[in-house]
């Protein structure tokens, strides 16, 4: 929807530093409301009026946010045509009101406001994730399309063995026993080592995107119209405006970070490709040097930790299999979340409220369709926080629990802030908190929990680091390219008839990943990744991969830890908790560089912590890769 992070609520999004910066960003486009405003002879507004306005706007939007969040919660945990209509209506009302307030706020432009009020004005103006045209019919079409796309993903199924081995939203005559949702497919994908079966799962799930193409194109068109009415070049430019710098500066900063980490990815890609060819032979070998995307243990090839056993060095099996341990203990979803909660409590954070346990959806309900993609919610901007997920006792979900709780603890830490500041310093911060906590899940920590009996010797560091790199480093180009694609779509550089080829051009360029079967414009593979139909911006996850190592290193320093970064666990350190809280409790009240400084002492995003963490592995990979040709060749650009 038009929410700010996977942590859902109707929320006013971050960020710009000064009104001056905003004035530089916005194009001068006259909207119907502006034209109306300029034709009325009005007295010059005063600072007192501006303060009263922002105060009222804040109260009104806070109330609207609760209704919209409830509607979304009900829809995502019980998808029916009725709940889709209800969420579309709630979002329609919310967007209409917010848009009207944005127009109204313009009459106060240029007034010398106190810093907090000026910042709230900015956040109001930048806080729409799904802009919609002011024409009521078009706005209703926008919210209805958005709700339908989100639901189409949630309802998506692959029905192996059904006529034509098709994927679909199952109709009445489907036998649901045949059909698999994405959570079941993911499990199968991590267990299978048969390239044919993996290709079938891949192809089956990707067919879910196909019917979304037309609706997606229309939604992009409508949302662009809304963004232009608000004065932005397009929706992508609006999204890139939310980082205390101009959209162009943001793109350049992303590029700078990517260049810092790209060499790490190249080493990992080279090593993994070699190992997969050893294992699968021709099924993994391609003349262009790319890796077939179905062999990496994840539907989107975004995180590769599940294929650790396939690529492990002969000397280094993983010292333990967390997934197997959790399964053997029959760990249920509630216990899984309690492990995560225990970590946050050890840092000095509160226990989760009772309502969290009463109202969260932690497992796949048997009797209804839901959006399984995990998310964390803040329903009432106070203490009604929840998780919605279909957890299974796997190592991946052990991490996801910490990830989602990071959102919830952030939300609880900034609940004392005024509503406009109840948000992350930027959306990448929100995504990074729980991941930074999950980095503390070291063997030492697992032993403390009683999940393993023995802490492996330092010689196990390379296997452990390799496992983590398969998740963290492999993700970097994926995290980068999703919104590179969307920015191209929104700017018009990529038109609907080129959606799929542009998608694959980016996946090939950045990830060096190829589809297992030929793709064409009859497919719409972006639709098979939740955040596209779910309208969740994705650059936040790329940023989060970088930030989380900065946050983690800062917590380790606060805890007085001295050894190699990869062995640090701040479990039980109240000092680390206090350091983290100094940033969390700021919410969005300050520009993100200030929040970063409160936590890490520096106001610049940088990849030195991720490089430090993985340095022993990088040295090791370089040794392994000696004599191997790095990289891959790209086909001719279809758009040129
Ligand atoms: O969507 C998520 C979270 C919810 S905010 C589970 N993540 C991205 C993804 O799954 O694609 C976390 C990692 C990247
Ligand atoms: Zn998240």
Question: pLDDT tens digits for 398-430?
Answer: 999 999 999 999 999 999 999 999 999 999 999
3-class DSSP state of 180? strand
**Cα–chain center distance at 63:** 26
If pLDDT is split at 50, 70 and 90, which confidence band does 161 have? confident
Question: pLDDT tens digits for 6-55?
Answer: 656 544 333 333 333 333 333 334 444 444 444 555 688 999 999 999 99
3-class DSSP state of 157? strand
Question: pLDDT tens digits for 302-351?
Answer: 999 999 999 999 878 889 999 999 999 999 999 999 999 999 999 999 99
Q: What is the spatial distance between Cα 189 and Cα 201, in angstroms, rounded to a whole number?
A: 7
The alpha carbon of 381 and the centre of ligand 2 are apart by a number of angstroms equal to 17
**Is the predicted pLDDT of residue 287 greater than 70, yes or no?**
yes
Q: What is the spatial distance between Cα 471 and Cα 305, in angstroms, rounded to a whole number?
A: 5
Q: Check residues 169 and 252 and name the one with the higher pLDDT.
A: 252
Residues in the chain: 640
Residue 80 confidence (pLDDT): 97
Atom of ligand 1 nearest to the CA of 302: 11
Question: pLDDT tens digits for 361-388?
Answer: 999 999 999 999 999 999 999 999 999 9
Q: Which two tokens stand for residue 276?
A: 């997969």
**Residue found by looking up tokens 């100094």 in the block:** 582
Q: Which two tokens stand for residue 371?
A: 């959006």
Q: Check residues 425 and 128 and name the one with the higher pLDDT.
A: 425
Ligand 1 atom 3 nearest Cα: 374
- Nearest residue to 378 via CA among 352, 346, 347: 352
The alpha carbon of 471 and the centre of ligand 2 are apart by a number of angstroms equal to 15
CB atoms within 10 A of CB 638: 12
Eight-class DSSP state of 108: G
- Nearest residue to 271 via CA among 235, 213, 312: 312
If pLDDT is split at 50, 70 and 90, which confidence band does 635 have? confident
Q: What is the spatial distance between Cα 471 and Cα 504, in angstroms, rounded to a whole number?
A: 21
**Is the predicted pLDDT of residue 473 greater than 70, yes or no?**
yes
Q: Which two tokens stand for residue 597?
A: 């400084």
Residue 316 confidence (pLDDT): 80
Residue 6 confidence (pLDDT): 60
Percent of all residues in the chain with a pLDDT value above 90, rounded to a whole number = 87
CB atoms within 10 A of CB 256: 13
Q: Report the chain's mean pLDDT, rounded to a whole number.
A: 92
**Is the predicted pLDDT of residue 178 greater than 90, yes or no?**
no
Residue 633 confidence (pLDDT): 97
Q: What are the helix (H) ranges across 127-181?
A: 136-155
Give residue limits of the domains in the chain: 1-29+45-128
Poorest-pLDDT segment among 54-58, 79-83, 164-168, 208-212: 164-168
Question: pLDDT tens digits for 48-80?
Answer: 999 999 999 999 999 999 999 999 999 999 999
Residue 23 confidence (pLDDT): 36
- Nearest residue to 313 via CA among 566, 613, 624: 624
- Strands 375-378, 291-292: parallel, antiparallel or unpaired by DSSP? unpaired
The alpha carbon of 547 and the centre of ligand 1 are apart by a number of angstroms equal to 15
User: Cis peptide leading into 112, omega within 30 of 0?
Assistant: no
* Mean pLDDT along residues 169-176: 46
Percent of all residues in the chain with a pLDDT value above 70, rounded to a whole number = 90
The preferred substitution site among 431, 481, 543, 544 for testing ligand 1, maximizing ligand atoms within 8 Å of CB, is: 431
The alpha carbon of 571 and the centre of ligand 2 are apart by a number of angstroms equal to 21
Q: What is the spatial distance between Cα 178 and Cα 167, in angstroms, rounded to a whole number?
A: 11
The alpha carbon of 6 and the centre of ligand 2 are apart by a number of angstroms equal to 5
Q: Which ligand is nearest to the CA of 406?
A: 2
Pocket, ligand 1, Cβ cutoff 6 A:
6, 302, 374-375, 400, 403, 541
Instruction: Please give the model's pTM, rounded to 2 decimal places.
Output: 0.93
Residue 170 confidence (pLDDT): 44
Q: What is the spatial distance between Cα 237 and Cα 559, in angstroms, rounded to a whole number?
A: 40
Residue 187 confidence (pLDDT): 92
Decide: 1 and 91 in contact? Cβ < 8 Å: yes
Q: Which ligand is nearest to the CA of 373?
A: 1
Ligand 1 atom 12 nearest Cα: 541
**Is the predicted pLDDT of residue 537 greater than 60, yes or no?**
yes
**Is the predicted pLDDT of residue 165 greater than 70, yes or no?**
no
Residue 43 confidence (pLDDT): 81
Atom of ligand 1 nearest to the CA of 389: 6
Tell me how many degrees the CA angle 385-391-396 measures, rounded to the nearest 5. 110
**Residue found by looking up tokens 């779509």 in the block:** 489
Residue 29 confidence (pLDDT): 40
The alpha carbon of 217 and the centre of ligand 2 are apart by a number of angstroms equal to 26
**CB < 8 Å & 24+ apart, contacts of 622-627:** 622/267, 624/271, 624/274, 624/313, 625/267, 625/270, 625/271, 625/274
- Containing H/E element for 467? helix 461-491
Which of 143-152 are b and which e, b meaning 16 or more Cβ less than 10 Å from the residue's Cβ? bbbbbbbbbb
* Mean pLDDT along residues 78-88: 96
- Nearest residue to 130 via CA among 120, 138, 118, 122: 138
* Mean pLDDT along residues 150-176: 70
CB atoms within 10 A of CB 48: 8
Contacts of 280 (CB under 8 A, 6+ apart): 195, 295
Poorest-pLDDT segment among 103-107, 165-169, 268-272, 543-547: 165-169
Question: pLDDT tens digits for 574-607?
Answer: 999 999 999 999 999 999 999 999 999 999 999 9
- Nearest residue to 272 via CA among 299, 301, 306, 312: 312
**Residue found by looking up tokens 């059904």 in the block:** 162
Q: What is the spatial distance between Cα 290 and Cα 501, in angstroms, rounded to a whole number?
A: 16
Q: Which ligand is nearest to the CA of 543?
A: 1
Atom of ligand 1 nearest to the CA of 7: 5
**Cα–chain center distance at 489:** 19
Question: pLDDT tens digits for 190-205?
Answer: 999 999 999 999 999 9
């Amino acid at each position: 929807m038009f929410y700010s992070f996977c942590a859902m609520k109707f929320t006013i999004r971050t960020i710009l530093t000064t009104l001056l910066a905003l004035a530089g960003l916005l194009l001068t486009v006259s909207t119907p409301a502006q034209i109306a405003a300029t034709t009325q002879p009005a007295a010059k507004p005063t600072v007192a009026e501006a303060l009263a306005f922002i105060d009222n706007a804040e109260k009104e939007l806070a109330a609207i946010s609760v209704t919209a969040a409830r509607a979304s919660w009900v829809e995502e945990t019980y998808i029916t045509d009725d709940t889709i209509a209800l969420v579309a209506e709630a979002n329609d009302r919310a967007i209409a009101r917010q848009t009207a307030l944005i127009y109204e706020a313009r009459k106060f432009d240029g007034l010398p406001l106190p810093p907090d009020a000026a910042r709230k004005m900015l956040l109001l103006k930048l806080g729409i994730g799904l802009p919609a045209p002011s024409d009521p019919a078009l706005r209703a079409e926008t919210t209805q399309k958005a709700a339908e796309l989100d639901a189409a993903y949630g309802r998506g199924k692959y029905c192996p063995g059904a006529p034509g081995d098709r994927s679909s939203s199952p109709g009445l005559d489907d036998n649901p026993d045949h059909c698999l949702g994405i959570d079941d497919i993911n499990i199968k994908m991590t267990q299978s080592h048969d390239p044919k079966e993996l290709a079938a799962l891949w192809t089956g799930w990707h067919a879910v995107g196909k019917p979304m193409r037309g609706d997606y194109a229309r939604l992009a068109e409508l949302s662009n119209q809304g963004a232009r009415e608000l004065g932005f070049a397009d929706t992508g430019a609006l999204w890139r405006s939310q980082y205390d710098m101009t959209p162009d500066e943001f793109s350049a900063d992303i590029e700078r970070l990517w260049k810092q980490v790209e060499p790490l990815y190249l080493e990992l890609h080279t090593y993994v490709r070699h190992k997969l060819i050893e294992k699968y032979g021709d099924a993994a070998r391609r003349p262009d040097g790319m890796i077939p995307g179905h062999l990496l243990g994840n539907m989107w090839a975004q995180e590769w930790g599940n294929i650790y056993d396939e690529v492990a060095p002969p000397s280094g099996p993983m010292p333990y299999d967390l997934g197997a341990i959790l399964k053997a203990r029959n760990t249920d979803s509630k216990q899984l979340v309690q492990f995560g909660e225990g970590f946050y409590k050890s840092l000095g954070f509160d226990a989760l409220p009772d309502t969290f346990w009463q109202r969260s959806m932690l497992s796949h309900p048997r009797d209804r369709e839901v959006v399984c993609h995990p998310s964390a919610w803040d329903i009432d901007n106070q203490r009604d926080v929840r998780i919605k997920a279909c957890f299974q006792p796997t190592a991946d979900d052990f991490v996801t629990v910490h990830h989602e709780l990071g959102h919830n603890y952030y939300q609880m830490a900034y609940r004392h802030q005024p509503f406009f500041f109840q948000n992350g310093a930027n959306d990448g911060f929100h995504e990074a908190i729980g991941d930074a906590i999950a980095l503390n899940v070291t063997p030492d920590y697992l032993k403390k929990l009683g999940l393993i009996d023995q802490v492996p010797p330092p010689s196990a560091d390379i296997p452990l680091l390799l496992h983590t790199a398969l998740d963290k480093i492999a993700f970097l180009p994926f995290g980068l390219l999703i919104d590179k694609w969307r920015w191209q779509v929104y700017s018009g550089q990529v038109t609907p008839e080129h959606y799929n080829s542009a998608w694959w051009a980016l996946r090939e360029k950045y990830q060096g990943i190829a589809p297992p079967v030929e793709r064409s414009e009859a497919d719409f593979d972006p639709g098979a990744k939740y955040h596209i139909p779910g309208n969740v911006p994705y650059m936040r996850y790329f940023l989060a991969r970088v930030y989380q190592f900065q946050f983690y290193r800062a917590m380790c320093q606060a805890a007085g830890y001295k050894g190699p970064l990869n062995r640090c666990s701040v479990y039980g350190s109240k000092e680390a908790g206090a350091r983290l809280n100094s940033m969390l409790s700021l919410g969005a009240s300050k520009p993100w560089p200030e929040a970063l400084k409160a936590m890490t002492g520096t106001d610049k995003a940088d990849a030195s912590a991720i490089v430090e963490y993985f340095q022993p592995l990088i040295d090791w990979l370089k040794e392994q890769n000696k004599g191997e040709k790095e990289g891959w060749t790209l086909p001719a650009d279809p758009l040129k």
